[in-house]
Amino acid sequence: MDDYNALLSSATDISDAFEHMDEISFHSFLKTKSEEVVLAIRYQLTGSYTDDKNALARLQSFLDQTPPLGQKRFAVVKATEQLYQLHLDSFTGGLRWEKIEG
């Protein structure tokens, strides 16, 4: 876990781009980040089932894409226990859960 936290703390945070760009713009943006060694997205679930499902699918797509050679990617989802349980099936493919109170 220490290696994970060290990598995550050294990552270039691209959360704002993820939240404010449509999928096509975001994928173009990712191409400009090919020299970055570690990329991370931190996303907080909203409680809107449809919006959360769409965001989780996009986050999984970000993780599933083959990154440039040597690049590591992380996606951390902040959610209450209740929202985590609601979307539990989305956390099987590498998404990390960060528990928040709420």
- DSSP codes, the chain: -HHHHHHHHTSEE-HHHHHHS-HHHHHHHHHTTTT-SEEEEEEE--S-HHHHHHHHHHHHHHHHS-PSTT-EEEEEEEE-HHHHHHTGGGGGSSPEEEE---
Phi, psi of 74 (to 5 degrees): -135, 145
Tens of pLDDT, residues 39-50: 999 999 999 999
Query: What's the pTM?
Result: 0.90
pLDDT surpassing 60 at residue 1:
no
Percentage, residues of the chain above pLDDT 90 = 85
In angstroms, the CA 5 to CA 64 distance is 20
